[in-house]
Structure 1
Amino acid sequence: MKASILKTDHLSKKYHGKMALDKVEMSIAKGSIYGFIGQNGAGKSTFIRLITGLASPTAGSFELFGQNSEQGLIQARKRIGTIIEGPALYPHMTAAENLEAHRLLKGIPGKECIEKTLKLVGLQDTGRKKAKNFSLGMKQRLGLAIALLGDPEFLILDEPINGLDPMGVIEIRELLKKLNKEHEITMLISSHILSELHLLATHYGIIHEGKLLEQLSAKELNEKCQQYLHIKVDQPNKATTVLEGQLETSEFEVMADGTIKLFAYTDSPGKVSKTLTDEGLILEQFMPMGEELEAYFTNRIGGVQHG
């Protein structure tokens, strides 16, 4: 069993007589990507503020890297990187200058980490371009670079794809996957966009009105919700032949408009897309989807529409 990076015990926070967090019991295992799901105002940001030391619990406690004393938590927080309520950027500075400013603020010795971190997030060639002229996706990657200074073992990201266009969302998603797999960084990603978290998370926590309703793994969620790959190609008939021949599966359904629902290979979509393109097919649409994913979340929070 993997060690827990973060473990909470009846963690609670009250603001103006109202419980923003109510006896939350959460555990995040080393190496996981934990999708923290909830409506805006459900308690996600309050939880993150407590863990990062920006607010104090009203009751309960938590462990970070096994530490729960005040001094122990101060030391443990040096091993985490965060983006809370958007990255803190200096708009008139370059990417490198932004990192240098934050390096000095964090007291990280040596400048060699700057170029290494810029390369890690794909911003090594931005030169003298000011952050104010970056796209939203670039700004988010720069925010991630700042969070990655000091080689954190645990990233806490609050709504990291909010406001991004589809390409920006894909850029950030692929970068987070790379950081998790290649650099073994554990992540807590807070979001109300369930469909996007489903492409990233290995585990989930569903919070509503301050209460953690459920924790479950991606495997458990997939068992509860019918998952499939939504595929639209230029030649649907050829695609079905490839699925049956090359990928040896008949677990698919062709819809009236020619789109294909593939119920196999949901855990390895890259293999499907590569096989189809290798056979000369043009992918017009290709995305994992869940027929009951949104419905499951809505049902868990009592039928309330989330925003």
Structure 2
Amino acid sequence: MNEYILKTNRLSKKYHNKMALNKVSMAIKKGAIYGFIGQNGAGKSTLIRLITGLGNPTTGTFELFGENNERMIIEARKRIGTIIEGPALYPQMTAAENLEAHRLLKGIPGKDCVENTLALVGLQDTGKKKAKDFSLGMKQRLGLAIALLGDPEFLILDEPINGLDPMGVVEVRELLKKLNKEYGITILVSSHILSELHLLATHYGIIHNGELLEQLSAKELNEKCQQYLHIKVDNPTKATTIIESHLSTQEFEVMPDGIIKLFAYVDVPGKVSKVLTNEGLVIEEFMPKGEDLESFFSNRIGGVQHG
């Protein structure tokens, strides 16, 4: 069985004289929630359009479910559910009528899937209420229900939380977690909101100006953003012994230049400095450090853009 749902190989897309996507090579493992993050215009939607068949690459290739020839990729796309640029809803129809219309368009046999899918996204009790009267969160859930018709193995969602109020964001996030955990659906979700993806994603890809800057797991991101106390003293060896014996922790790392990164006691730094001083150490540098999520992202894309 193929380990990867999607792999791209130097995928590029050029519009007129602008490279919207520039030699992007990314990989999404089966079972992942892949947070595809970048500013508006970074290339997220362009890549999604190529994968879903709404555009053709200028150069490069991709594999979908291990398939890489055009005929087999077209067949593999039947295993995908998508929301691109907002869900396509019929505003004058109820939730059930919307799903029935899309079921017929997709040629999915049997009507049971309509009721089952509505229940899955929590819209089974909307009755005769029309989609135009739904909240934004309900509309997004209905869009997800449409994407879920046909039991897809891979969901591709382009900015699914855009414009949602906080409650709507929570609703969509929890639903995506449920679909991933309970139904084993692999999810690619694009967003420019790193703080929200951090509560959802298992893996990340950071894109900027059409180029994929970095791929990393949630564990790797958390490690890079971990807060710590930066400590420089006149005797690092003695300091580590004191930290172990007096503060009862081994949650530290000694760098080649003698700087100590202490990952414990970040919320009570005074306790650490007092212990070190009482034991006769000279503290030369002592400060909290560590990136937050927004600064991590900003540093990867080169900070504020000019011009």
**TM-score, normalising length: structure 2:** 0.79
Give the match's secondary structure for 1:5: strand
Which position in structure 2 is the counterpart of 1:277? none
Shift of 1:18: 1.0
CA distance in 2, matches of 1:122, 1:111: 18
* Aligned: 1:64 with 2:64: yes
Shift of 1:251: 5.9
Which position in structure 2 is the counterpart of 1:157? 157
CA distance in 2, matches of 1:304, 1:31: 34
Q: Deviation digits for residues 215-259 of structure 1, max 9, x if unmatched?
A: 00000000000279xxxxxxxxxxxxxxxxxxxxx867389xxxx
* Contact 1:44/1:207 (8 A) holds in 2: yes
RMSD: 1.9
CA distance in 2, matches of 1:115, 1:251: 52
Aligned residues between the structures: 251
Give the match's secondary structure for 2:104: helix
Shift of 1:304: 2.6
Q: 1:198 to 1:305 in 2, by over 3 A?
A: farther
* Aligned: 1:109 with 2:109: yes
Letter in 1 for 2:181: K
Q: 1:24 to 1:127 in 2, by over 3 A?
A: same
CA distance in 2, matches of 1:293, 1:123: 34
Letter in 2 for 1:253: D
**TM-score, normalising length: structure 1:** 0.79
* Aligned: 1:193 with 2:199: no
Unaligned runs of 5+ in 1: 229-249, 256-289
Shift of 1:68: 1.1
Give the match's secondary structure for 2:267: strand
Which position in structure 1 is the counterpart of 2:184? 184
Letter in 2 for 1:99: L
Larger radius of gyration: 2
CA distance in 2, matches of 1:85, 1:31: 24
Q: Deviation digits for residues 57-97 of structure 1, max 9, x if unmatched?
A: 00000000011111101110000000000000000000000
Letter in 1 for 2:267: E
* Contact 1:298/1:305 (8 A) holds in 2: no
Give the match's secondary structure for 1:182: helix
Q: Deviation digits for residues 169-202 of structure 1, max 9, x if unmatched?
A: 0000000000000000000000000100000000
User: Which runs of 4 or more aligned residues in structure 1 lie more than 4 Å from their structure 2 counterparts after TM superposition?
Assistant: none
CA distance in 1, matches of 2:82, 2:265: 41
Which position in structure 1 is the counterpart of 2:31? 31
Shift of 1:2: 7.2
Q: 1:304 to 1:111 in 2, by over 3 A?
A: same
Q: In the TM superposition, what are the counterparts of 1:275-286 in structure 2 within 5 Å?
A: none
CA distance in 1, matches of 2:83, 2:181: 20
* Contact 2:224/2:291 (8 A) holds in 1: no
Which position in structure 2 is the counterpart of 1:121? 121
Shift of 1:141: 0.2
* Identity across the alignment (%): 82
Unaligned runs of 5+ in 2: 229-263, 270-289
CA distance in 2, matches of 1:130, 1:190: 28
Q: 1:46 to 1:227 in 2, by over 3 A?
A: farther
Letter in 1 for 2:26: M
